């Protein structure tokens, strides 16, 4: 029987300069499906869908956009959706 795929979510609260570093760490983990960056009010500023095949140069525009958002030097929440093969 094939494994069922589920998702789990978590959030990180970070300052502007820490956002890009954290997102790069999350992408390197490989099990992240979607990342959203929200401002202090909870408004989504950027939403990044990540697929298994997205690597390297394909992420350059994403890094530029995240860097631009992080340059505003405010407090942000990163919402992460991960692939999870285990059911809770």
Task: Classify residue 35: in a domain, yes or no.
Answer: yes
DSSP H helices, the chain, are: 16-29, 60-70
Task: Tell me what pLDDT residue 35 has.
Answer: 84
Q: How many domains does the chain have?
A: 1
Query: In terms of residue numbers, what domain contains 37?
Result: 8-84
Mean of pLDDT values over 3-30: 79
Question: Would you say the pTM of this structure is higher than 0.75?
Answer: no
Task: Classify residue 1: in a domain, yes or no.
Answer: no
Task: Classify residue 17: in a domain, yes or no.
Answer: yes
> How wide is the angle at C-alpha 68 spanned by C-alphas 62 and 70, nearest 5°?
100
Task: Classify residue 3: in a domain, yes or no.
Answer: no
Mean of pLDDT values over 29-50: 82
Mean of pLDDT values over 11-19: 84
Distance CA 49, CA 32 (A): 9
Task: Classify residue 2: in a domain, yes or no.
Answer: no
Task: Classify residue 30: in a domain, yes or no.
Answer: yes
Task: Classify residue 18: in a domain, yes or no.
Answer: yes
User: Per residue in 21-34, pLDDT tens?
Assistant: 888 888 777 778 88
Task: Classify residue 12: in a domain, yes or no.
Answer: yes
User: Per residue in 59-85, pLDDT tens?
Assistant: 667 767 777 777 776 788 888 888 776
């Amino acid at each position: 029987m094939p494994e069922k795929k589920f998702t789990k979510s978590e959030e990180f609260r970070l300052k502007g300069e820490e956002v890009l570093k954290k997102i790069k760490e999350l992408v390197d983990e490989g099990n992240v499906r979607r990342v959203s960056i929200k401002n202090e009010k909870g408004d989504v500023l950027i939403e990044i869908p990540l697929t298994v095949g997205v690597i390297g140069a394909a992420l350059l525009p994403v890094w530029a956009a995240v860097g631009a958002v992080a340059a505003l030097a405010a407090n942000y929440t990163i919402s992460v959706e991960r692939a999870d093969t285990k059911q809770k």
